[in-house]
């Protein structure tokens, strides 16, 4: 399976690493002369996803187009891309064993099947969910990161103690602030702002998250 992966986000980096480890899946680029069967727009910024998939729809009309629905819903992206070949997805690094798929109103059954085949080739089990911004796991994770950042902002505990408490209390492999670093604070901030736009102030990013995102910094780095 030939795949064109577009993006510079932490998610794009994680997907490139996963593809490199899998047999039967090959990364191609626009200059290779090989038409991709699947195009993946793995940016967090919705405008970048739309621009990538618009170009791909024109250049590779037979390809299945997969776009990260992290700051825009699949329907919003599809309204720009305008093809039945598009399927949205929600996923954050580090990759686990699941990926959330979102069909847009015009997504064909064939596109959904090809999307499922692609993700299974990466050893990620696709789970169909309703169309939304950020899906389930990314929404929950970013909300928990934000709550942890509010606790830090309000001097409830140190960064290290917040992460340790969440690891011990939830049996997570890492704390929320460490997880935020793996995702990237700029990307967490974008997802929260997109949710705030749609769902209201309960998703407003904390000053700590926004400040680190603006400075391109992370937790545990000061």
The pTM is what?
A: 0.93
Specify burial of residue 147 (Cβ count, 10 A radius: 0-12, 13-18, 19+).
middle
Confidence of residue 28 (pLDDT cuts 50, 70, 90): very high
Indicate whether 172 pLDDT > 90: no
Residue 68 contacts residue 49 (beta carbons within 8 Å): yes
Q: Determine the structural domain holding residue 164 and report its residue range.
A: 137-215
Domain-embedded: residue 220: no
User: Which pLDDT score is estimated for 93?
Assistant: 96
Q: Where are the alpha helices (DSSP H) in the chain?
A: 10-21, 46-59, 74-81, 109-121, 137-153, 159-170, 176-183, 185-199, 207-215
Average pLDDT over residues 59-80: 96
Confidence of residue 219 (pLDDT cuts 50, 70, 90): very high
Q: Which of 128, 148, 173 is the last residue of a domain?
A: 128
Domain-embedded: residue 57: yes
Same domain, 112 and 30: yes
Q: Which of 128, 163, 192 is the last residue of a domain?
A: 128
Residue 81 contacts residue 149 (beta carbons within 8 Å): no
């Amino acid at each position: 399976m030939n795949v064109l992966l577009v993006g510079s986000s932490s998610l794009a980096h994680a997907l490139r690493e996963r593809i490199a480890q899998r047999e039967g899946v090959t990364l191609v680029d626009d200059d290779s002369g090989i038409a991709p069967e699947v195009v993946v727009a793995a940016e967090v910024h919705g405008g970048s996803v739309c621009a990538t998939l618009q170009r791909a729809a024109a250049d590779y009309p037979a390809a299945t187009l997969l776009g990260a629905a992290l700051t825009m819903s699949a329907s919003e992206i599809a309204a720009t891309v305008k093809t039945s070949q598009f399927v949205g997805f929600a996923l954050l690094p580090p990759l686990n064993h699941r990926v959330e798929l979102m069909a847009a109103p015009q997504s064909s059954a064939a596109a959904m099947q090809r999307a499922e085949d692609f993700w299974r080739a990466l050893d990620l089990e696709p789970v169909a969910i309703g169309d939304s911004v950020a899906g389930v796991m990314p929404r929950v994770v970013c909300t928990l990161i934000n709550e942890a950042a509010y606790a830090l902002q309000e001097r409830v505990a140190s960064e290290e103690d917040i992460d340790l408490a969440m690891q011990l209390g939830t049996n997570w492999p890492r704390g929320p602030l460490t997880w935020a670093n793996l995702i990237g604070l700029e990307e967490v901030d974008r997802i929260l702002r997109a949710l705030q736009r749609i769902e209201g102030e309960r998703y407003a990013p904390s000053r700590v998250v926004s400040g680190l995102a603006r400075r391109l910094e992370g937790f545990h780095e000061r």
